[in-house]
Structure 1
Amino acid sequence: MPRSNRGFVVSVPARSWGVLIVLCGAIFLEGIDVAMLNVALPSIRADLGLSTGMLSGVVSAYVLGYGGFMLLGGRAADLLGRRRMFLFWLVVFLAFSGLGGFATEGWMLLLARFVTGVAAAFMTPAGLSLITTTFPEGRQRNRALLIYAGTAAGGFALGLVIGGLLTGFGWRWVFFAPVLLSLVILLAAIPLLKEPAGGRPPVQGFDVAGALSITGAMMLLAYGVVRLEHPADGWPLTVAAFAGGLALVAVFVAIERRSASPLVRLGLFRSAPLVRANLMAALLTASFFGFQFLITLYLQELRGWSTIQTGLALLAAAADVVLAPTLTPWLVNRFGNAKVVLGGLLSGLLAYALFLGVGLDWAYAAMLPSMLLIGLMFAFVYGPLTIVATDGIAEHEQGLAGGLINSSFQFGAALGLSMVTAVNVAALGTATGAAAGLEAMRTALAVPVAATLLAAIISITGLLRTRATTQPSEDRVPLNA
């Protein structure tokens, strides 16, 4: 197969790139959907008269649906057909996003967001596994995954700007806009997507007990993470949620060991690179979403910036949309995933450290270096981790691998938000005023700093192990991050 001087495969069928564009559109849709809603929450509360608890529940409902069903969604793609799962749940996503736009009561928003989260939990790993089974393993797949990951990260950043603009016309457009985008993606996906030949094993039995136990475990763990945002509501229920979730994980492991047709092959977790990639994925999104929450709090509540101004301020962090498909593939080919990931994490660590000295009179120029460094972090870490998490996995388990890495990204985001909220509230206490708010925010910035530092340590461990045990070949870069 011919290769360019830079080592990338250039003879890529046009249809394969068409598939990639469709699937990038879907992951971009999922990213902007989450970000746009966060910007619109104050307007939703003012219009519908929702309590703070109900408003928080609107966000939590999506997390519960997404986190609870992600592993099941990934395995369902392997067993029931990736194309079928992607198209069906894209239609569900479209329908319930529209329902949210017509909501007149809080319960309608809760239902819409929960089912939208479930739809994303099935659609996202199906889409990722369609990429990994459409593009052959190696540099061609790596480049496709880096483009896909850059699009996903860009959706989170651009969603803030788009959400701010749409909220200006009315918060309901935050729900209607994804309907229009979903419809375009659906019409393009139907003729383009094909079920990979030989990629779907015969279904010899469905592990119902395993599916119920892991879904229950994931939902309880997600609920426990969400409750960390509200320490004043009582720790017993939070502890009970985590304990129940961990107990169900133990039940799930016992079931899988004895099942003739396990939902998840436990041997998958013997892959040290896969485990490290998933841990770093959770820490990456924990740091980013925690920081995003704090910077939004700083700009809007302490500085009085509008939602549009805040979104534009964060736009520099979306530099990964350009860097991920251009610079990152060259760096991965030249230095390998491990070094690129470490470089990205160190960029993020520097970004958060620079922001520790933030003041109430900071000009945007003082914030810009942190925003740009965060863009570098996402460009250099998100995509390569996705490559590591799916590399070397059998084709009939690509959906499961996709579900695992997306679960890690999702749980990390929820954990980061919850931790910075809890630390910020505890540090603020009963104090009031901008100075107290700034000091509490600086304290909470320790969360993204610590998360990124831990991820960097894990990355260094993987890099040292890679040096000791592997040597890169001529045609493939080392993938053990």
Structure 2
Amino acid sequence: MPSPALAVRQERPVSRDSLTSAAPPATPATTTSATTTSTSPRRPSRWLALATIATATLMTILDGSIVTVALPAIQDDLGFSPAALSWVVNAYLIAFGSLLLLAGRLGDLIGRKRMFLGGTAVFTAASLLAGIATTPGMLLAARFLQGVGSAMASAVSLGILVTLFTEPGERAKAIAVFSFTGAAGASLGQVLGGVLTDALDWHWIFFVNLPIGLAALAVAVPVLPGDRGLGLRAGADLIGALLVTAGLMLGIRTVVKVEEYGWTSPHTLGPGALALVLLAAFTARQATARTPLMPLRLFRSRSVSGANLVQLLMVAALFSFQLLVALYLQRVRGYGALETGLAMLPAAAVIGAVSLGVSARLTARFGERAVLLTGLLLLGALLGLLTRLPVHADYAVDLLPVMLLAAGFGLALPALTSLGMSGASEEDAGLASGVFNTTAQIGMAVGAAVLSTLAASRTGSRLAAGADQADALTSGYHLAFATGAGLIGAAFVVAYAVLRPRTPRRVESGVSRSTQ
């Protein structure tokens, strides 16, 4: 049966039998490279390790969306001002997005298992602190710490996964599971946030992380593969770390504040220019440093560079679906928080069904690039339909078909994840994972700033022209959806032009053969 070519690096293909015989159940196999040594768990334990990674990832992704529906309750209880309330979300986003790259590289240096365990522990402890918060400052500090822990764990998750699953067919299934947690987690978070806030109170949106985090830690310690890492001397570029962390932190902060200040404000242009200078200085240093934090050789791979650019465009575009459709349902159609989450649930269900059920088989037959392009076409159709969304939409007629087209995300994300990791060597797997997650966060921040600003601007102009509130809001959302469709179109062009097609693997006489 054909299986996809998803190797992290090009190696001589071997049969499944030879892989199995190389690691007797009684003695875990040891895989040694020139720079790192890791002990892989026994074959059944790899799936338990995947479940652990997926659970921890789902916990952190849920936390990013579960908070949004509880913001009014948090504001009333803790006395947040309207301007300060947005920082309950922004504090997490800034820490998470700016530290992913550094955490990914540190995972390669000190060991990805140590980084994952440390990040999960920090996130769990910070969730407890957030749950017992009694002042705005205490909650914001806890949210920042949650972002730090999430970055530590998320940055190395893909790196662990691709070293656990080396056989292409199994890796495709594992990446599909991992991708599902990212694709469906946000929608599930909106539902869970509404349930917990309505049934209990907002504190429980954080307390719910405690049993999940503790269980993930208890299972991860014995089942995740141990790895010593390269050692800090192999890449402890402290100056580079300061430059990239400061640049990303300042840049993400600037982007998330655009809606408040506007694109041409000194509050935007000044910090934005400084962030670009810091990131340019970081890039220049990586080209000359003896032990660079982010070796630029990683981007010589067309699959790595192209996949990261496609992901940035795709995630920015899909912000208009995930958040603005929810805002439309609440502000135009009058849905409550729980009703909105339930209305978005079919999208999560179809993403899960496609990513877990068919994406791996389609990739095995047609290759990652073909599956990615098909997924992008479906996402373009989704956003195109949303540009015609009426003010008085009927859910079954106008919105449910859109939710079903979210299947495109279930196709695109696993294929894109495979391509994004396929050009990285084993010693750079943590870094590649951190880069891939960083581009997703940057895409989310850029999408939030650009599409929200466009929607608000169109809404304001329509209100000034005498339109009613519902019509003006819907018109603003239409512009954001059209812009998102344009970003998906750009992603399709990049994927078609930059990402090379792969010939799916065929198995002949027990030996798998592939070409690229």
Pick closer, same or farther for the CA change 1:117–1:427 going to 2, 3 Å.
same
In structure 2, what is the equivalent of residue 474 of structure 1?
506
In structure 1, what is the equivalent of residue 458 of structure 2?
427
Residues 68-467 of structure 1 aligned to structure 2 (within 5 Å): 68-136=98-166, 138-168=168-198, 169-196=200-227, 200-204=229-233, 206-232=236-262, 235-318=265-348, 319-365=350-396, 366-374=398-406, 376-429=407-460, 431=463, 433-462=469-498, 466=500
2:51 maps to a residue whose letter is I
* 1:46 CA displacement: 2.1
Pick closer, same or farther for the CA change 1:411–1:20 going to 2, 3 Å.
same
1:204 maps to a residue whose letter is R
Pick closer, same or farther for the CA change 1:141–1:15 going to 2, 3 Å.
same
Pick closer, same or farther for the CA change 1:229–1:291 going to 2, 3 Å.
farther
Q: Deviations over 1:184-229 (max 9, x none)?
A: 1111111211214xx7224325111111111111111111211222
Distance 2:343 2:368 in 1: 30
- Greater alpha carbon shift after TM alignment, 10-19 vs 84-93: 10-19
Asked if structure 1 preserves the Cα contact closer than 8 Å seen for 2:352 and 2:410, the reply is: yes
The 3-state SS of whatever aligns with 2:423 is coil
Distance 1:187 1:473 in 2: 37
2:356 maps to a residue whose letter is P
Distance 1:359 1:419 in 2: 23
Distance 1:473 1:141 in 2: 13
The 3-state SS of whatever aligns with 1:229 is helix
* 1:472 CA displacement: 4.8
Q: Deviations over 1:70-89 (max 9, x none)?
A: 10000010001111111111
* 1:261 CA displacement: 1.2
Pick closer, same or farther for the CA change 1:255–1:462 going to 2, 3 Å.
closer
Distance 1:473 1:301 in 2: 50
Pick closer, same or farther for the CA change 1:144–1:461 going to 2, 3 Å.
same
Pick closer, same or farther for the CA change 1:135–1:425 going to 2, 3 Å.
same
The 3-state SS of whatever aligns with 1:362 is coil
The 3-state SS of whatever aligns with 2:424 is coil
Asked if structure 2 preserves the Cα contact closer than 8 Å seen for 1:220 and 1:242, the reply is: yes
Distance 2:282 2:264 in 1: 28
Q: Deviations over 1:352-403 (max 9, x none)?
A: 11111111221111211111111x1211111111111111311111000000
Distance 1:363 1:479 in 2: 49
Asked if structure 2 preserves the Cα contact closer than 8 Å seen for 1:336 and 1:478, the reply is: no
The 3-state SS of whatever aligns with 1:474 is strand
* 1:98 CA displacement: 1.4
Distance 1:248 1:399 in 2: 23
- Greater alpha carbon shift after TM alignment, 260-269 vs 470-479: 470-479
Distance 1:228 1:74 in 2: 28
Match of 1:42 among 72, 90, 104: 72
Distance 1:175 1:301 in 2: 26
* 1:276 CA displacement: 1.0
1:451 maps to a residue whose letter is L
Percent sequence identity over aligned pairs: 34
Pick closer, same or farther for the CA change 1:180–1:390 going to 2, 3 Å.
same
- Structure 1 length as normaliser, TM-score? 0.93
* 1:473 CA displacement: 4.8
Alignment root-mean-square deviation, CA: 2.1
Distance 1:471 1:88 in 2: 39
- Greater alpha carbon shift after TM alignment, 339-348 vs 383-392: 383-392
In structure 1, what is the equivalent of residue 58 of structure 2?
28
Task: Write out the 4+ residue segments of structure 1 that deviate beyond 3 Å after TM superposition.
Answer: 5-12, 231-234, 470-473, 475-480
Q: Which runs of 5+ in 2 are unaligned?
A: 5-15, 21-41
* 1:149 CA displacement: 0.8
Asked if structure 1 preserves the Cα contact closer than 8 Å seen for 2:123 and 2:145, the reply is: yes
The 3-state SS of whatever aligns with 1:167 is helix
* 1:33 CA displacement: 0.8
* 1:7 CA displacement: 4.1
1:225 maps to a residue whose letter is V
- Greater alpha carbon shift after TM alignment, 114-123 vs 17-26: 114-123
Question: What is the aligned length?
Answer: 469
Distance 1:473 1:400 in 2: 27
Distance 2:425 2:515 in 1: 16
Distance 1:362 1:99 in 2: 42
Distance 1:441 1:100 in 2: 33
2:399 maps to a residue whose letter is M
The 3-state SS of whatever aligns with 1:275 is helix
The 3-state SS of whatever aligns with 2:358 is helix
Distance 1:286 1:178 in 2: 27
In structure 1, what is the equivalent of residue 35 of structure 2?
none
Distance 1:472 1:208 in 2: 42
